Chain A
């Protein structure tokens, strides 16, 4: 449905808009910055934007905590953190290149709604792990606070985690509070070339299971005339990075001698991995398959048999980015390949026709589907918040 976008100026106004929509049973199409708008099923409803809810509401560097309203551009948050030598631990990805939404601005609310995490997720956790407090408007137009600004809080149920990755279907996040980490003094990467998928995953598992605290591990399979590359990242004080790099190279020498990238080269490489750059120019649909890392090579093999291709392994193999034809058959084959290895697949980029033909998010089955529906109803009884976005 097209039409004017309602842009409430503050949380109270937003709550009022939702309360009216609840009374009238009007579906709402929730708009953040628009950078991930084409993920999930298209939503038909009256457009409501969070752009009016902007600004950092709390920043205490000594307490490692920052809070911001939902419509705050992520760039504003990261600029404030940069100025104090701090960072969001989960290294949020930027999918604008991948999704062709370059004119849009990723926001705090969208990052939470998508539980958007990057390479450091392997060691430092996902967006949901750093999220310690939220305010949101539920489907009745009520404003709810949960969590807060402290790292340990077990007072009542942890609705904070539930909001992360719910794509606006349980409530409209109006403010989010994150715990932070100091930005490491320096970083470096070790790069091995020409490894098979199996050897790469073995190397990454050995590194992640070592005491040397890698902060990311990714594998770029061979393709486009480039040999395969397997990359480990170290972040810490400079002497620690040097020490750990030397130890890791020695411990993993059966895989060959690695090249070492300094901070600038390392940062550029990891930005590409974070943003799934190898998939940008891929034809067809783009999928993310989440599995236990040791099963990533089997997933990659099954993807090839299904007519797709694994283009990038992140999270030590726990996240496989794949390109595949835009057909329902290929989608079903990818879902089967993931499920056979105990994982699941999410369609991140696909045509509207494909996103209507197959559920972009793996649907829950059996009693889990019924429970999911009851939970939705507990937050949004009239089903007006981004209805159908996640497929159910």
Chain B
């Protein structure tokens, strides 16, 4: 193990905590308490326990302290103080990150946005909403639903995850094929820098002046500052939407069907793919009427008026038949539509009921799907494991669930190694390591698979322009040995 690193209990290397910071813990807590009302500073071990991990539960670590500011000014005061004290900062939304984006360190203060969850302004004429960043994704749609509007990006965790976390990870979801991901749906943010400056980047116009700083803040995994407010685009919902199920005897047929649909000029609002194991597991839980005899299944949803939907689903059905579809089932009621989506959205939970799993998040060019599925099967069998595949077929974002038994110590390690091999395969196929979960801590050490040293150095120079002392979410995104020693000017 390199100097200056410790291993967590699960073998993830982490920077060794700074003993100077640990020794100053009481002074730091007192300093934070002078800035925020008492109940917004969490120092006791019991209460800190709730922040020791996020949805990447393989790793746990109590943070030095947790603060829950209620205003942008409080966030600014906290960051200015922690910057002066040279204490690492871990921004946290709802803690739903699957890549460990909000995992703490022993010498770091978690800045949680849970209390900043209000809608500040709604403008249906300009189709924008100004919200505090701790609001949940679904909370935004809830606030505008009475006028028939919604916020488009829809990660599976949308009930719980915050827009702050969505911005940090540039989150996607099932409906991104038509509506884009987070970066396509945010017009502005209020960003607090480490120095405590409050910057308004973008706003309620479609274009902002200067460099596209909004574009780099979104997806920066909390390493450039803390976003406390956002101006989001809200969209008027279509008149109606309806899904259909299509079952195939071979994964290749499903892949060809996706290509043919798009080639015919139809952009469905979602095309979701599930393989046989995923269908079996999910059907056993959700009873959505999925075709149990299919090797692969697509859920295809289209939007418009009833008549338009009928026409589109007819065209898609014809294409699917030509591609060898065995089962075609068009939803005929709200209840059937809800059941179809309930199955898809509960796929991860249902899998968790029958086995432990790790959920990977690689992306591939959709044309490479047959090759990747075949190779992935070989990789997984090589480790003596099983894999269930659920993914967004329109955009090639794979979510292989690698199943293992948590009570078998060796299997966890095998599952992790297997997952990494799958991600390497994605990169090799022309895709990338992560499509929507982020790099976080999970894929940090795989970054060299996708980028060379020069490319990583360019990204690190950009981070240093925002964070010269490497304090913001410091153990994430980049391999630990790339951390600059000491402070570096951005131009160094």
Contacts and interface: CB of A to CB of B under 8 A. Distances in A.
B211 A166 contact: yes
Contacts of B438: 154
B126 interface: yes
Interface in A222-252: 237, 239-240, 243
Contacts of A160: 215
A63 B454 contact: no
A211 B236 contact: yes
A159 B216 contact: yes
B215 A240 contact: no
B414 interface: no
A121 B207 CA distance: 10
A148 B431 contact: yes
A111 interface: no
Contacts of A343: 205
Interface in B410-462: 430-439, 443, 447, 450-451, 454-456, 458-459, 461-462
Interface string B152-181: 000000000000000001101000110011
Contacts of B181: 151-152
Given A129-B180, A150-B365, A155-B447, A290 B210 contact: no
A280 interface: no
A100 interface: no
A66 interface: no
Given A153-B435, A158-B215, A362-B210, A371 B172 contact: no
Interface stretch (A72-80, A138-146, A300-308): A138-146
Nearest to B172: A152
Given A63-B365, A152-B392, A156-B477, A375 B462 contact: yes
B337 interface: no
A165 B433 CA distance: 27
A262 B35 CA distance: 64
Contacts of B124: 209
Interface stretch (A1-9, A30-38, A102-110, A291-299): A291-299
Q: Which of A162, A315, A368, A376 is packed against the most chain B CB atoms within 10 Å?
A: A368
A91 to B, nearest CB: 14
A210 interface: yes
A208 B127 contact: yes
A374 B123 CA distance: 35
A372 B239 CA distance: 43
Contact of B265 (A138, A185, A291, A377): A185
Interface residues of B, number: 95
Contacts of A211: 148, 236-239
B301 interface: no
Contacts of A315: 206
A343 B208 CA distance: 8
Contact of B215 (A128, A243, A363): A128
Contact of B311 (A125, A128, A239): A239
Interface in B344-358: none
A264 B195 CA distance: 56
Contacts of A377: 465, 489-491
A250 to B, nearest CB: 13
Contact of B366 (A63, A142, A181, A361): A63
Given A158-B170, A290-B206, A378-B462, A371 B148 contact: no
Interface in A91-150: 115, 121-122, 125-126, 128-129, 138, 142-146, 148-150
Interface string A354-376: 00000001111011100110111
Q: Which of B149, B177, B220, B458 is packed against the most chain A CB atoms within 10 Å?
A: B458
Interface stretch (B1-9, B196-204, B278-286): B196-204
Contact of A156 (B183, B201, B263, B451): B451
Interface string B292-334: 0000000000001101100100000000000000000000000
A62 B367 contact: yes
Given A154-B169, A293-B125, A367-B197, A64 B454 contact: no
B219 A158 contact: yes
Contacts of A344: 205, 207-209
A61 interface: yes
Contact of A162 (B216, B463, B477): B216
Contact of B367 (A60, A128, A165, A319): A60
A255 interface: no
A160 B432 CA distance: 15
Given A128-B215, A158-B215, A292 B464 contact: no
A55 interface: no
A170 interface: yes
Q: Which of A129, A153, A293, A377 is packed against the most chain B CB atoms within 10 Å?
A: A153
B83 interface: no
Q: Which of B210, B455, B456 is packed against the most chain A CB atoms within 10 Å?
A: B210
A65 B195 CA distance: 41
Nearest to B147: A209
B459 A126 contact: no
A57 B172 CA distance: 27
A175 to B, nearest CB: 14
B100 interface: no
Contacts of B436: 152, 154
B307 A161 contact: no
A170 B220 CA distance: 18
Contact of A144 (B262, B307, B435, B458): B458
A213 B238 CA distance: 8
A154 B435 contact: yes
A227 B392 CA distance: 49
A16 interface: no
B365 A60 contact: yes
Query: Which 10 pairs, one residue from A and one from B, show the smallest C-beta to C-beta distance?
Result: A161-B215, A62-B259, A152-B435, A362-B209, A182-B265, A374-B465, A377-B491, A381-B491, A378-B461, A367-B197
Given A294-B125, A315-B206, 8 more contacts: A115-B212, A138-B458, A361-B210, A368-B199, A377-B490, A378-B490, A379-B458, A381-B491
21 contacts: A62-B263, A63-B366, A142-B454, A150-B431, A152-B435, A152-B436, A154-B437, A154-B438, A156-B451, A157-B463, A158-B170, A159-B459, A159-B462, A162-B213, A170-B211, A205-B126, A210-B236, A318-B205, A342-B203, A361-B209, A362-B210
